[in-house]
Amino acid sequence: MIIGEIRRYLRDNNPIRVSRSVRDLAYKALQAKEKLTKENEKEPTIEEIAKELGVEKEEIVISLDAIQDPVSLQEPIYDEGSESIYVMDQIKDSKNSDEFWAENISIAEAMKKLNKREKTILSKRFFDGRTQMEVADEIGISQAQVSRLEKSAIERIKKMYK
């Protein structure tokens, strides 16, 4: 019984809990990969492994990902004296920077101060990517009116943040 508890502890004591069925499938996939590599003398594809085990390829991918040890963002990848490159440096998300979030909050606050028609026009034009003609047809006004309302809404927003 004690040996069983020790095995369970070693098996389950990971930073991320992965179910036994997923873990078992991952180990079967690794065994199938090894077997197919020996038979075909080349590394098998995920599809070949899935076919060998009779499961969907997505399940194979998920199970293999699940048994990977998590990596810290602070872990160094390259270290040369005083220059270190960390995982965080390699996966930096320039789209979701602090400036991006601040701009989104500012835009959202500015949009709250516009009237309903101006909000609709700016949303359709800049967030939905519609043309002035498309917006005009949807709202039931002329393209010239859309242009005028769009311009005045943008000017109001600019005045708010000067």
- Helix (H) / strand (E) element for 86: namely strand 83-86
Does domain 2-70 fall under CATH 3.20.20.70? My reply is no
State the pLDDT at residue 148: 95
The domain limits of the chain are 2-70, 98-160
The answer, as to whether pTM is greater than 0.75, is no
98-160: CATH topology is Arc Repressor Mutant, subunit A (1.10.10)
State the pLDDT at residue 15: 65
Q: How far apart are CA 158 and CA 121, in angstroms?
A: 17
CB 88 within 8 A of CB 73: yes
Contacts of residue 127, defined as CB under 8 A and 6 or more positions apart, other chains included, come to none
Q: How far apart are CA 135 and CA 142, in angstroms?
A: 9
- Helix (H) / strand (E) element for 78: namely strand 76-80
pLDDT under 70: residue ranges of the chain: 11-16, 92, 94, 162
Contacts of residue 72, defined as CB under 8 A and 6 or more positions apart, other chains included, come to 87
State the pLDDT at residue 14: 65
State the pLDDT at residue 38: 94
For strand 76-80 and strand 83-86, is the pairing parallel, antiparallel, or unpaired? antiparallel
